[in-house]
Every structure is written in structure tokens, then in C-alpha cells.
Amino acid sequence: MPLFLVLSSLRMPTWLFATWLFATWLFVCTGLLTLGMGLGPARAQEPTETQPADVQTSDEVPVEEPETEAISELRQALYKAVNATRASAGARPVDRDSGFESVVRAHARDMVARTYMAHRSPDGDGPRERVLARFPDFLGIAGENIAMRTHREGESAADTATAAVEAWMDSPPHRKNLLDQRHGFAGISAADNGRAIYIVMLLTSEPSLRPPEPDPIPQPRPESDAADTGQSIDEPVSLDPQLPDNRGENAPETAGSPAPGS
């Protein structure tokens, strides 16, 4: 029997029936709305294994920290003092080599960071390893001088550079490295720990990067030049000097064979 007839048989007033029907409808709608609001967002926000948190997706390469203005001024003063000293001894000037600068800058900063002063790092790497790690095709000779200068009130960059060069000139092995006529290139840098300045200079006979050689011009040759002996013509001489180990903790270390001042 329909619900309306049942309620009519019970003689329920029309207004009471309408009120009951509206309340029932409102209750059902409210329940469905609450159920939908409670389940929908919760499912969407559940964490998944395919969306882990704190994932590093950047391919950025660490950039070397630039040198301070004070270090830049000291570096320029050192180049000037070194070339002035070489000129007074009749040696040719050395050209700044930015490639070797990166090598000595890293060594100076490493000495500051790990609190030591030596040509060889605590890991055992010396000038030989540092040069060849950056420039494996380097075939020249190289000599390294280092110095440490404590801060002095009112001392200019030029004064610090002069003091470092004078200290090297007072040491026979360092002096030989500094005035070696074969050196034509240099990398100089420094690092500061707030109490002292660590200076590193690398003098070399060849640049860090060789310019590309021009293609040889073919020359006509008689057929008998190599046919009779079975030997190649104009066989190139192998130039691959070995870099010796350090001979003293703070003595100037030389990379090459032979290299005075080692």
C-alpha cells in the first residue's frame, strides 16, 4: 500500500505529514553531502610512491667562489713584483695563465680550509698531480713556490707582494725557481683565513693549453727516401718528461725534467 495511504489511514494531519516528509528529505540530502565531502578530498591527498618529497631535480654545476677584491689586488701586485724581480736579473717576464691560476687558487684555498702549508696536500697530491689533473697534455716544466704572510696593520697589497718575493729571493731553491729563464708563464693566487694570507705561485715553460698546430704542408719526396731502409721519415721525438716527487715539505717543488730549484 502506498505510504501516502498508510499515513492517511492513520489520520495524520496534512501539515504534520508535510513537515515529516521535508525533514526526511533534508536528512537524506545532508547525509549524502557529508559523505561526499569526507571521502573525495581524502583520496586525492593520499601520498604515493611515485611522488616522493624533497627530490632534487636540478642539474646545476657548483660554481667556484670568486676571489675577493683584496685577493685580486694582491694577485696583480704579485705578478708585477715577480716580473720586476725577473727583469732585474735579466730573465724574461712571465705571462699570466688563467688555467694555472685555477690550479694554484684551489691549492691556496685547500691549505686554508685544512690548515696546512705544504706543496703536497694531506691526500698526497703535489704540483705534478694538480697540474696533470687539470691539463693532462701538459709537457713542460713547472716550479711551485708558496708563502704565508700574517696580517699586518696598514700593509698594502704591494707591500705584501714585495715581502713574499723577497722571502723567495732569500731562499736559494726558491730563487732558482723564480729566476729560471725557461719559465714564460705563471699562475699566481692566494687565500685568506682572516689571520694570514697563503700565496701560491706556479711558474712554467709552457702554457696550460697549447694553441692548435697548423696542418703541415705536404712536401714532395723521392720514393726512395723510406723504401730502402724501412724507417719512417722525420720520426718525431717523444717529449714526455716525468714529474719528480717533492724533495722538501716547503721547498719549491718542480714538475718537469730537469727543473732547477727543486
Contact 146, 251 (CB under 8 A): no
User: What number is the average pLDDT over the span 133-145?
Assistant: 95
Contact 166, 155 (CB under 8 A): no
Confidence class of residue 227 from pLDDT cuts 50, 70 and 90?
very low
User: Is the pLDDT at 4 greater than 80, yes or no?
Assistant: no
* Listed range (31-40, 142-151, 206-215) with the worst mean pLDDT: 31-40
Residue 210: all three cell numbers together: 697549447
| Residue 232 DSSP label | P
Residue type, 246: N
Angle between helices 98-114 and 127-134 (to 10 degrees): 130
Distances (CA, A) of 47 to 38, 54, 55: 17, 13, 14
- List, as one string, the DSSP characters of 63-126: PPPPPPHHHHHHHHHHHHHHHHHHHHTTPPPPEE-HHHHHHHHHHHHHHHHHT--SSS-TT---
- Tell which phi-psi region holds residue 194, choosing left (phi > 0), alpha (psi between -120 and 50) or beta: left
Note the pLDDT tens digit of each residue in 42-86. 333 333 333 333 333 334 434 568 889 999 999 999 999 999 999
pLDDT recorded at residue 65: 81
The larger pLDDT score, comparing residue 261 to residue 139, is at 139
CA dist 93 → 88, 179, 186 (Å) = 10, 10, 10
What is the model's pLDDT at position 58? 37
pLDDT of residue 56: 38
Record the pTM.
Answer: 0.61
> Average per-residue pLDDT in the chain?
74
Which helix or strand (DSSP H or E) is residue 155 part of? Answer: none
Burial classification of residue 244, based on how many CB atoms lie within 10 Å of its CB (0-12 exposed, 13-18 middle, 19 or more buried):
middle
Mean pLDDT of 110-131: 94
Give Cβ neighbours of residue 162 (< 8 Å, ≥ 6 apart).
81
Tell me: pLDDT of 25 over 70: no
Q: 252 and 138 in contact (C-beta within 8 Å)?
A: no
* 140-167 burial: b if 16+ Cβ within 10 Å, else e: bbbbbbbbbbeeeeeeebeebbbbbbee
Average pLDDT of span 199-219: 83
CA atoms of 262 and 164, how far apart (whole Å): 19
Tell me the mean pLDDT in the region 118-128: 93
Strand residue runs (E) in the chain:
95-96, 142-150, 185-192, 196-204, 253-255
